[in-house]
Amino acid sequence: MITIHPMDRPWLAKRKAFDPRPMMERMSDPDEVRGFLASAIQLYKDRNEFPFIEIGPTERPVELIIAGDIHGDLLTAGKVVSHFLKRFDGEKGRTDVKLLFLGDIIDRPPDDDPYGGLLTLLYLLSLKTAYPDSVFLLRGNHECYDLEPFFPHELPVEIREMYGEENEDRIMTMVRELFTHLPIMVKTKNGLFASHAGFPWLFKGDLRDIKRENHDAILQTTWGDPFETGYYRGMISDFSNYDEKEFSKFMEKAECTVFVRGHQSQLNGYSIYGGRMATIFTSRRYERSGAGGILIAELGVPPVDRTITIDEIKVKKLSDAGFIVYNLVDGSMLPFFREIGRSKDEEE
Ligand SMILES: [Mn+2]
């Protein structure tokens, strides 16, 4: 029997530098972890966010902050959250502020990171619990290990090291269930489409009708890469590549004009497909990948029905002075993306 424990707001350290120590202290107890995961699963069951989040039409303007792959970089996640909370409190009443993480929350933490994927996941779930209508976590391919195994997958190892072998399966079973409830896409009323990697280009029906059991649609969305980047992942399910024609067709169907994604660190900071697709990464492990930087994207969603262009997406780069404006690099002339910015630890 699990006791349900919602997380405390004080962990979020409003307006202050993020301090993970209180969370680590409480999460040293495996039963606390399971209790919290039970409350998070219940929250997602009640909210039904799968398959996509729709933002708009809205009564007041929305500022949407988007973070790419965070991959167990808890300290950077804390900086993104502080950036969000400052504006979330400051502009309450006039502008609504929402925060979106594009998935790949776990695994591949920075080499010098003392926290890792599990604590990053618990931290972001605590934020979701506190602000369920304002914070959204998408499912990335690292949250789909059951559907398509890959390497490295450090999460079970972290759990074993922290809580002992006897708790690994008990916690992982709950984490896996939680992942099946995460949404895989976001659409805004003014034409932004966002997901971890791709989109369900082989799904013929209404996007609303994608079921949690539709593994093909989930894998296309969480694993897909642009064919032109020459990056072939050799997956079991073989849903790894879409081309510009499939992209254009899907965007028309989704009634969207711009796509913001993560997933491919070698495309970090580049826009392609005629400026319609931008790739951002937020983990500091990938800071030197692609055009470089720890990036987030920001977008205003006005309460009117109109479509946006890539110029309206403000990309920002983390610096000592906080998040500063960054101009996306036009990647359309690059012959083969496999040749650019390939870091030595590049993986999924
Ligand atoms: Mn990924």
Cα-Cα-Cα-Cα dihedral of 274, 277, 283, 287, to 10°?
Answer: -10
Question: How far apart are the CA of 16 and the centre of ligand 1, in A?
Answer: 30
CB atoms within 10 A of CB 250: 21
Q: What is the pLDDT of residue 309?
A: 85
Q: How far is the CA of 32 from the centre of ligand 1 (A)?
A: 29
Which residues, at least 6 apart from 327, have a Cβ–Cβ distance to it below 8 Å?
A: 315
How far away, in angstroms, is 319 Cα from ligand 1 center? 24
Within-domain flag for 312: yes
Alpha-carbon gap, residue 69 to 103, rounded angstroms: 6
Residue 20 lies in a domain: yes
CA of 3 to the centre of ligand 1 (A): 33
Please report the pLDDT score of residue 344 as a whole number.
41
Question: Residues with Cβ within 5 Å of ion ligand 1?
Answer: 104, 140-141, 263
CA of 223 to the centre of ligand 1 (A): 6
How far away, in angstroms, is 325 Cα from ligand 1 center? 25
Residue 77's domain comprises 9-339
> 95: CA distance to ligand 1 center in Å?
31
User: Ligand 1 centroid vs 306 CA: distance in angstroms?
Assistant: 30
Give domain status of residue 122, yes or no.
Answer: yes
pTM, two decimals, is 0.92
The pLDDT value recorded for residue 189 is 87
Q: Is there a cis peptide before residue 10, judged by omega within 30 degrees of 0?
A: no
Edge-first strand order for the sheet with 322-326 is 135-137, 96-101, 62-67, 295-301, 314-319, 322-326
Nearest partner of 20 among 127, 164, 100, 99, judged by Cα: 127
CA of 143 to the centre of ligand 1 (A): 9
Domain for residue 348, yes or no?
no
**CA 15 to centroid of ligand 1, rounded, Å:** 30
How close is the Cα of 194 to the center of ligand 1, in Å? Answer: 13
Output the CA 300–ligand 1 centroid distance in Å. Answer: 26
> Cα(49) to centroid of ligand 1, in Å?
20
Separation of CA 154 and ligand 1 centre (Å):
14
Cα torsion for 124, 125, 126, 129, to the nearest 10°?
A: 130
Can the peptide bond before residue 22 be classed as cis, meaning omega within 30 degrees of 0? no
* Domains in the chain, number: 1
Of 30, 6, 7, the closest CA to residue 20 belongs to 7
**Dist. CA 104 → ligand 1 center (Å):** 6
**C-alpha pair distances (Å), 235 with each of 19, 105, 148, 190:** 39, 21, 8, 34
Domain CATH for 61: 3.60.21.10
Question: Distance, CA 35 to ligand 1 centroid (Å)?
Answer: 28
- Residue 123 within a domain: yes
Q: Cα(289)–Cα(284) distance, rounded to whole angstroms? A: 10
Are 74 and 39 in contact by the 8 Å Cβ rule? The answer is no
- Please report, in tens digits, the pLDDT of each residue of the chain (348 residues total): 445 555 555 455 555 567 777 778 888 899 999 999 999 999 999 999 999 999 988 888 899 999 999 999 999 999 999 899 888 865 566 788 999 999 999 999 999 888 899 999 999 998 898 889 999 999 999 999 999 999 899 999 999 999 999 999 999 999 999 999 999 999 998 899 999 999 999 999 999 999 999 999 999 999 999 987 777 676 777 677 899 999 999 999 999 999 999 999 989 999 999 999 999 999 999 999 999 999 999 999 887 767 788 888 999 999 999 999 999 999 876 655 544 444 444 454
**Residue 201 domain flag:** yes
- Structural domain includes residue 1: no
In a domain, residue 89? The reply is yes
Sign (positive or negative) of CA dihedral 205, 211, 212, 216: negative
